[in-house]
């Protein structure tokens, strides 16, 4: 266990102290774990994600336990990993402490005693420590103060439910490829493999427990993809039909591109400014036996890549704060800053205005984000409509009866959608 604890501390340090992306930090550390058993690699992921998810509480707990701030950042992160195990995990408490002491000794023999004292005090005073740290909102909600305040300002009494959902494990949802099979037929196949699931949308199946894609029947034959139920709303809302010319303007990793192609035989251009991420679109389309034109380009600068032919449908799934998907990417809430939200809003407005020039008269553009912050969502649309008299916002009725803003819950992540029609 101690090697797993130490590696998890390295991941946490790369994210919180160096500002790196959690997935990439984990991938980098995993590259040095050759020969580890699958269970050890799974434990590394759990400890890394869990420690970052509950960073607010763990920071407060360590502050209560240490007589003075822990100067060594490696030791600080190791202690937080062990505290995550003590307060949120299921391992035997004394095994957690013994292994953490061994890990600390490998860093510096002189800090082993301090590690032992801090963690054994945590075991003895667990309930009292929890109560003490519950006073601070950053600890209680495991979000930065500015994030908590912003949600309260926008959502009032619903804010705490959003924060609580953010700290849960995300659901695993499948999208059934209707060109390959039916949702009902695939649900029956899952039952035959003893994988419990239920249908929550026309193509969406929610798994009772996450499983590796290796266990999903027909996955590598293109019968099914992993995609959040909220994200699965984009393609139907865009209202595509056979023969249309369609642009997915920020396409990577390609889930929405593929879903559109599964729904209709369209002339699809999938655009993304990141060539590496665009390769994932190609991989997904190949697995699903679908085809599209892929192009590297900036959606805000169509003059660099557009051929002058208008599109009848455009999906603008724009870059955003990703505040609606933090349970999948818990590093986001700690790495984002308040000014980032206004920065994204300005970028989104630029992309939306640029893409509007490419839309055919009578065409439709679907604006989408995975954010719950109104500055990136409703305000962008209101400002755009004020500046573009040829744009009309079409009504939407989403599963939770909202007009565009989906909040994260047990079935889907947080998303925003606005469907715009261009006057003929």
pLDDT digits (tens, 9 = 90+) for 51-60: 999 999 999 9
Residue 164 counted as domain residue: no
308: left (phi over 0), alpha (psi -120 to 50) or beta: left
Token pair listed for 31 = 């590259």
Are 48 and 190 contained in the same domain? no
Domain housing 78? 2-141
Residue 169 counted as domain residue: no
Query: What domain count does the chain have?
Result: 3
Are 253 and 285 contained in the same domain? yes
Are 270 and 394 contained in the same domain? yes
The length of the chain, given as a count of residues: 424
Are 401 and 257 contained in the same domain? yes
pLDDT of residue 14: 96
Residue 418 counted as domain residue: yes
Q: What is the mean pLDDT of residues 160-164?
A: 97
Are 264 and 404 contained in the same domain? yes
Are 182 and 314 contained in the same domain? no
pLDDT, one tens digit per residue, over 319-363 is 999 999 999 999 999 999 999 999 999 999 999 999 999 999 999
CATH number for the domain including 187? 3.30.70.1170
CATH number for the domain including 338? 3.40.50.150
Are 372 and 302 contained in the same domain? yes
Quickly tell me which residue has 């490829």 as its tokens: 177
Are 221 and 301 contained in the same domain? no
Residue 342 counted as domain residue: yes
Task: Give yes or no for a contact between 381 and 176, defined as CB atoms under 8 angstroms apart.
Answer: no
Catalytic residues: 370
- Please, which pLDDT band fits residue 401 given cuts at 50, 70 and 90? low
Residue 147 counted as domain residue: no
Task: Give yes or no for a contact between 68 and 77, defined as CB atoms under 8 angstroms apart.
Answer: no
- φ, ψ at 246 (rounded to 5°): -125, 140
Question: Among 92, 122, 141, where does a domain finish?
Answer: 141
Task: Give yes or no for a contact between 299 and 271, defined as CB atoms under 8 angstroms apart.
Answer: yes
pLDDT, one tens digit per residue, over 171-212 is 999 999 999 999 999 999 999 999 999 999 999 999 999 999
Are 187 and 80 contained in the same domain? no
pLDDT, one tens digit per residue, over 24-51 is 999 999 988 888 988 999 999 999 999 9
pLDDT above 90: percentage of residues in the chain:
94
Q: What is the mean pLDDT of the chain?
A: 95
Residue 170 counted as domain residue: no
Residue 148 counted as domain residue: no
CATH number for the domain including 14? 1.10.940.10
Are 36 and 126 contained in the same domain? yes
Question: Among 94, 116, 141, where does a domain finish?
Answer: 141
Are 409 and 270 contained in the same domain? yes
Q: Which residues pair with 368 in a beta bridge?
A: 317, 417
pLDDT exceeds 80 at position 402: no
Are 213 and 280 contained in the same domain? no
Q: What is the mean pLDDT of residues 61-73?
A: 91
- Please, which pLDDT band fits residue 397 given cuts at 50, 70 and 90? confident
pLDDT, one tens digit per residue, over 248-294 is 999 999 999 999 999 999 999 999 999 999 999 999 999 999 999 99
pLDDT, one tens digit per residue, over 105-150 is 999 999 999 999 999 999 999 999 999 999 999 999 999 999 999 9
Question: Among 95, 117, 141, where does a domain finish?
Answer: 141
CA atoms of 287 and 310, how far apart (whole Å)? 29
Task: Give yes or no for a contact between 35 and 3, defined as CB atoms under 8 angstroms apart.
Answer: no
Residue 392 counted as domain residue: yes
In the chain, the largest separation of any two C-alpha atoms, in whole Å, equals 75
pLDDT of residue 32: 85
pLDDT exceeds 80 at position 400: no
Task: Give yes or no for a contact between 151 and 159, defined as CB atoms under 8 angstroms apart.
Answer: yes
């Amino acid at each position: 266990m101690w090697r797993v604890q130490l590696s998890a501390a390295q991941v946490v340090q790369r994210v919180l102290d160096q500002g790196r992306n959690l997935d990439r930090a984990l991938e980098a550390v995993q590259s040095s774990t050759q020969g580890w058993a699958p269970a050890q690699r799974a434990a590394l992921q759990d400890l890394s994600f869990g420690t970052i998810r509950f960073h607010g509480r763990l920071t407060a707990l360590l502050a209560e336990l240490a007589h003075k701030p822990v100067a060594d950042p490696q030791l600080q992160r190791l202690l937080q990993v062990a505290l995550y195990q003590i307060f949120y995990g299921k391992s035997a408490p004394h095994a957690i402490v013994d292994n953490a002491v061994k890990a600390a000794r490998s860093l510096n023999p002189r800090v082993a005693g301090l590690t032992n004292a801090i963690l054994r005090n945590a075991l003895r005073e667990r309930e009292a420590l929890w109560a003490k740290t519950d006073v601070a909102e950053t600890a209680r909600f495991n979000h930065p103060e500015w994030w908590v305040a912003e949600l309260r300002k926008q959502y009032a009494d619903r804010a705490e439910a959003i924060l609580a959902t953010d700290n849960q494990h995300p659901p695993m949802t499948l999208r059934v490829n209707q060109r390959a099979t039916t949702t009902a037929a695939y649900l029956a196949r899952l039952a035959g493999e003893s994988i419990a699931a239920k249908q929550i949308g026309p193509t969406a199946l929610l798994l009772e427990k996450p499983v590796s894609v290796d266990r999903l029947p027909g996955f590598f034959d293109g019968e099914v993809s992993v995609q959040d139920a909220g994200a699965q709303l984009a393609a139907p809302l865009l209202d595509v039909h056979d023969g249309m010319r369609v642009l997915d303007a920020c396409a990577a990793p390609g889930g929405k591109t593929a879903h559109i192609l599964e729904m209709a035989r369209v002339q699809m251009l999938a655009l993304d400014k990141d060539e590496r991420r665009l390769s994932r679109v190609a991989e997904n389309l190949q697995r699903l036996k679908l085809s599209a034109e892929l192009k590297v380009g900036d959606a805000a600068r169509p003059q660099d890549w557009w051929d002058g032919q208008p599109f009848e449908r455009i999906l603008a799934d724009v870059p955003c704060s990703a505040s609606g998907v933090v349970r999948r990417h818990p590093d986001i809430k700690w790495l984002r800053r308040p000014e980032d939200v206004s920065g994204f809003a300005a970028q989104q407005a630029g992309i939306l205005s640029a893409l509007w020039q490419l839309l055919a008269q009578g065409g439709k553009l679907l604006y989408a984000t995975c954010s719950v912050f109104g500055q990136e969502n409703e305000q962008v649309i209101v400002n755009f409509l004020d500046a573009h008299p040829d744009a009309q916002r079409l009504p939407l009725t989403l599963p939770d009866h909202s007009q565009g803003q989906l909040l994260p819950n047990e079935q889907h992540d947080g998303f925003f959608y606005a469907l715009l029609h261009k006057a003929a």
